[in-house]
Chains A and B, each alone.
Chain A
Amino acid sequence: ILNVEQSPQSLHVQEGDSTNFTCSFPSSNFYALHWYRWETAKSPEALFVMTLNGDEKKKGRISATLNTKEGYSYLYIKGSQPEDSATYLCAFGSGAAGNKLTFGGGTRVLVKP
């Protein structure tokens, strides 16, 4: 089983502050890196699919970067709002496994008003 690590496991953010967290994955056989947002009692929702080294994606106040050579991706939340409270999952797709994904343990974000 491939090793995908997310850190920190959880973080508390004051409303209005910006934050970021990390996903580490194997640097070999890279195919794609996915980010999902999972709110309590809802389905995981796809945020980004990243495939190229140096990729940067943005959706509203959330953005992500990708470094496939060193095997990490950062997700940034700018000006956090209470509705950003969720668990953020990254998932690694390897060339060997094609579209099968290996998930990290998630970073649980709680934005306090």
Chain B
Amino acid sequence: EADIYQTPRYLVIGTGKKITLECSQTMGHDKMYWYQQDPGMELHLIHYSYGVNSTEKGDLSSESTVSRIRTEHFPLTLESARPSHTSQYLCASSVSTGAQETQYFGPGTRLLVL
């Protein structure tokens, strides 16, 4: 059973607001990821981290930023939300085990920017 949490689950917010989506895992995993999924589309990797103080941008360009100050915590921030940021955001984590490495997902945050 994976222990990875995301808050809030749903967020409706106005344009221009700063928002932070929280992601925490209690499994001690070194790697963490953020994916974005627009309705009817694929999951796209927007950020990942291989450990504390390590963050990289993913394959899909995003205006969001992330930080990894603690192993268990990987928050995502949007400084000024826009309607184009409306999407579902999923956080995942994994531990380095070579080719069999499995990513464990949180339940996601559905963001609606008005």
A binds B: yes
CA gap between A104 and B42 in the complex, in Å: 6
Q: Does B34 contact A (CB under 8 A)?
A: no
B42, B90, B96, B108 — most chain A CB neighbours (10 Å) = B42
Residues of A within 8 A of B103 (CB): 34, 46, 99, 101
Which B residues touch A34, using CB under 8 A? 102-103
A residues less than 8 Å from B100 (CB atoms)? 32, 49, 51
Contact indicator B105/A43 (Cβ below 8 Å):
yes
Q: Which residues of B are found within 8 Å of A31, using beta-carbon distances?
A: 99
Query: A89 contacts the other chain (Cβ, under 8 Å)?
Result: yes
Indicate if B13 sits at the interface (CB-CB under 8 A).
no
Chain A: minimal CB distance from B56 (Å): 9
Q: Is the CB of A101 within 8 A of B2?
A: no
Count residues on chain B whose CB falls below 8 Å from chain A CBs.
27
Whether the pair A99, B101 counts as a contact (CB closer than 8 A) is: yes
Interface contact B42-A44, CB-CB below 8 Å: no
* Number of A positions contacting B (CB below 8 A): 25
Query: Which chain B residues in 89-114 approach chain A with CB under 8 Å?
Result: 90, 94, 96, 99-108
A43 to B104, CA, bound (A): 8
Residue of B nearest to A47 (CB): B102
CB within 8 Å for A44 and B58 given contacts A32-B100, A49-B102, A100-B45? no
Given A34-B102, A46-B102, A102 contacting B107 (CB threshold 8 A): no
Cβ-closest 10 pairs across A and B: A103-B43, A44-B105, A43-B105, A51-B99, A46-B102, A43-B107, A103-B42, A105-B42, A99-B101, A32-B99
17 residue pairs of the A-B complex, CB under 8 angstroms, read: A1-B60, A32-B99, A32-B100, A32-B101, A34-B102, A36-B105, A41-B107, A43-B4, A43-B104, A43-B106, A43-B107, A46-B102, A51-B99, A51-B100, A100-B45, A101-B45, A103-B35
